[in-house]
Amino acid sequence: MSVLIFVELDNGSVKKTSLEAVAYGAEVAKMTGTTATVLALGKADISSLEQAGAFGASKVLHASDDKLTHENSLAYADVLAQAVKQEDSKIIILAKSGLGDAVAARASAKLKAGIVSGVTELPVINGGFTVKRSIFTGKAFSNVEIKSDIKILVVKKNAIEAIESSEKATVETFSPVLRDQDFQASVGTIEKASSELSLTEADIIVSGGRGMKGPENWQPLLDLAKALGAATGCSKPVSDLDWRPHHEHIGQTGIKVAPNLYIACGISGAIQHLAGVNGSKYIVVINKDPEAPFFKAADYGIVGDVFDILPKLTKAVEDLK
């Protein structure tokens, strides 16, 4: 019996959010007196899979069939269900994402499992099994008790601090039965955003709003992002005005992010934008309006002109290097 953690791959490597899920699953395994096993689907670098051991997993089941290279929630859920039965797993962990939610929902139906998405903390298992989850786009929390024999937890980023060790996991070949009906739709082409860092995977994000005054003024923000090794984002009005690419739009109707550090430059802090960033560990707001709503959600605030402050921050970062 083991806690089973489904991980997502990107160009053969395990995504950072999935490694956090591995760390979470390993802690749950300690709490329940079991071990943590990882399930990886598609082509992968073996050394990347072994890295799961550094976050607490003892074993990785790797299904490398070419059919599993492209994300397919139908096939992935079926393979996950087969792995659950093989490992006799009662607790399944996934990182919250579009794919994670889709796979978890389908696997829940197949396994008759209770499912909770948006989990923010480790479960409480004394006298039951209760988890805390984020609701109403992060504006509130609820405690949910799962009474089913099999339990599926979809975990938000920053739910646990992932501490890396030097351990390596054992990688084993997993050969599931693949059903033809799960592959009736196929992936034709894949177009990826041109930015170097994925917003959902980035540890630091520097984001701009209408306070940047126009696309021609974005360079100071880009300079800070480069100095920090950060991804860049923007508010909805900025993407609507085509100042920045639409894949950088962060918010309730855009991408929801949860970096360790989110720096908002010239963003007022409308509730729709806050809904997309409230999972961030630390939020820094730079705005010349001291009454900007974003300051109420910020851990640190700087009142001033972004065009004066950004170059000074960039220089301070470069000096520290």
Tell me the CA end-to-end span of the chain in Å, nearest whole number. 47
Provide the 8-state DSSP code for 185: S
Common-topology check for domains 2-183 and 204-320: yes
Per-residue pLDDT, 196: 62
Query: What distances in angstroms separate CA 110 from CA 42, 104, 149, one per listed residue?
Result: 21, 10, 13
Q: Across residues 212-221, what is the average pLDDT?
A: 96
Asked whether residue 210 is marked as a ligand-binding residue, the answer is yes
* Number of other residues whose CB lies within 10 A of the CB of residue 285: 24
Mean pLDDT (the chain) is 93
Q: Which of 89-103, 117-131, 178-192, 257-271 has the lowest mean pLDDT?
A: 178-192
> Phi and psi (nearest 5°) for 161?
-80, 120
Per-residue pLDDT at 180 exceeds 70: yes
Asked whether residue 56 is marked as a ligand-binding residue, the answer is no
Per-residue pLDDT, 36: 97
Q: List the chain domain ranges.
A: 2-183, 204-320
Crossing angle, helix 306-320 and helix 219-228, to 10 degrees?
20
CATH topology of domain 204-320: Rossmann fold (3.40.50)
Asked whether residue 273 is marked as a ligand-binding residue, the answer is yes
Q: Across residues 15-27, what is the average pLDDT?
A: 95
Query: What distances in angstroms separate CA 255 from CA 112, 176, 179, 207, one per listed residue?
Result: 30, 33, 32, 12
Asked whether residue 267 is marked as a ligand-binding residue, the answer is yes
Question: Could you tell me the pLDDT band of residue 160, with boundaries at 50, 70 and 90?
Answer: confident
In CATH, the number for domain 2-183 is 3.40.50.620
Asked whether residue 51 is marked as a ligand-binding residue, the answer is no
Identify which has the larger pLDDT, 237 or 162.
237
Per-residue pLDDT at 21 exceeds 90: yes
C-alpha 32 chain-centroid distance: 25
Sheet with strand 231-234: strands edge to edge: 231-234, 204-208, 261-265, 282-287, 300-303
Sequence-distant (≥ 6) Cβ neighbours of residue 245 within 8 angstroms: 193, 194, 195, 239
Per-residue pLDDT, 290: 95
Question: What percent of the chain clears pLDDT 90, i.e. is strictly above it?
Answer: 84
Q: Across residues 210-239, what is the average pLDDT?
A: 96
Asked whether residue 250 is marked as a ligand-binding residue, the answer is no
Asked whether residue 194 is marked as a ligand-binding residue, the answer is no
> CA-CA distance, 167 to 50, in Å (whole number)?
8
